[in-house]
Amino acid sequence: MKKDSIKLSRLTTYLFILPMLMIFCVFIIYPIFNVIYLSFFNRSVTGNMTFIGLQNYVKFFTSGDAALAFRNTAIWVFAGVAAKILLGLLMALLLYRKFVGNRLLTMIILIPYAMPAAVSCTVWRLMYNPNFGHIGQFLQDIGIIDKAVSFLGNPSTSLIAVMIVNIWAVAPFCALNILSSLYFIPKDYYEAAQIDGANSIIQFFRITLPLISRDIKTLAILIGIWAFNSFDVIYMMTSGGPSNSSSILVNFVYQNAFEFNKRTYSAAISVICFLVLMVFAVLYVQSKMKEEEI
């Protein structure tokens, strides 16, 4: 082959990835720089931009919003991920056992995950309704509460109430993921352990858990990032309220940009989100890159 044709062939290779890279540049990378740029400015009602340095950031961190946002985000992400993984693990261990209807059950638990967020939020909002919701009625029937409680309308319960919806939707996904990790463990490990007289609890802690822990770690980072991003569920359930009691960082971005029309202030919160997100994303990418060679 001639040198020229090799060069040409090399150039055409780039044509395969060019459209993708262009989309990333125009709609992700350029906007990132743009949002960083915007965050250093103040935009007046008339649209005039004045450079104000780090003032938007200072304003956010001193406003009290920051403390609330970080507290809620930490609870939402860490407690949420722990609950999803734990429930998912329990479900996966259950589904791993052979029993009649096992496959049907695996399909059924997929439903919460397959439901569009808007639909599940509609259903849960009805169920949480203090006057005609199923949950309040059930809790009254078994005597936990004695009169109607508005779980979504009360600042002390709103975050937990929305978290339950999110855990309910994502735990089945974790279950399916962990289940597939369980199937990768060779059966003879358990047989050997059985011969040695190890009971199922010892088997779980000595064989199962060590072998799936790396997959679980990757899964935890992934659903942690999803949780960090899950603006839609919170917005559709409570709009972040009452009085921001169920708002996480991303809700503050949206609220300031589109409800208070404070675009540049919102841009500063976006940048903070971006920085937090990147830490987790790099962790995730590194654990993925270790898994497969390219």
> Rounded to a whole number, what is the distance in angstroms from the first to the last CA of the chain?
27
Contact 148, 174 (CB under 8 A): no
Measured CA to CA, the distance from residue 181 to residue 209 in angstroms comes to 10
Q: For another protein, which residue of 58, 82, 114, 209 counts as binding (CB under 8 A)? A: 114
Q: Is 19 in the site for another protein (CB under 8 A)?
A: yes
> Residue for token digits 């822990």?
213
Pick the binder of another protein from 124, 151, 158, 255 (CB under 8 A).
124
The answer to whether 282 contacts another protein (rule: CB under 8 A) is yes
Stretch that binds another protein, among 56-64, 126-134, 185-193, 201-209 (CB under 8 A): 126-134
Q: Which of residues 68-97 bind another protein (CB under 8 A)?
A: 90-91, 94, 97
- Using CB under 8 A, pick the residue from 42, 137, 157, 203 that binds another protein: 137
Interactions with another protein, residue window 177-216 (CB under 8 A)? 177, 179-180, 215
Q: How many helices (H) and strands (E) does the chain have?
A: 16, 2
- The single residue among 57, 61, 96, 113 that binds another protein, judged by CB under 8 A, is 113
Length of the chain: 294
Helical (H) or strand (E) element with 49: strand 49-51
Residues 216-245 touching another protein, rule: CB under 8 A, are 218, 222, 225-226, 228-229, 231-232, 235-236
DSSP annotation of 97 reads: S
Residue-wise DSSP of 223-286:
HHHHHHH-HHHHHHHHTT-STTTT--HHHHHHIIIIIS--HHHHHHHHHHHHHHHHHHHHHHHH
- Residues contacting residue 226 through CB under 8 Å, at least 6 positions apart: 170
The residue range among 11-19, 46-54, 65-73, 186-194 that interacts with another protein, by the rule CB under 8 A, is 11-19
Among 44, 46, 48, 131, binds another protein (CB under 8 A): 131
Which H/E stretch holds residue 37? Answer: helix 30-38
Q: Which of residues 30-59 bind another protein (CB under 8 A)?
A: 30-32, 34-35, 38
Size of the site for another protein (CB under 8 A): 98
Which of 64, 78, 82, 134 binds another protein (CB under 8 A)? It is 134
176 lies in the site for another protein, by CB under 8 A:
yes
- Cβ proximity to another protein: between 185 and 277 the closer is 277
> Looking at beta carbons only, is 90 or 209 nearer to another protein?
90
Q: Measure Cα distances from 208 to 180, 199, 203 in Å.
A: 12, 13, 7
Q: Which of 20, 45, 144, 201 touches another protein (CB under 8 A)?
A: 20
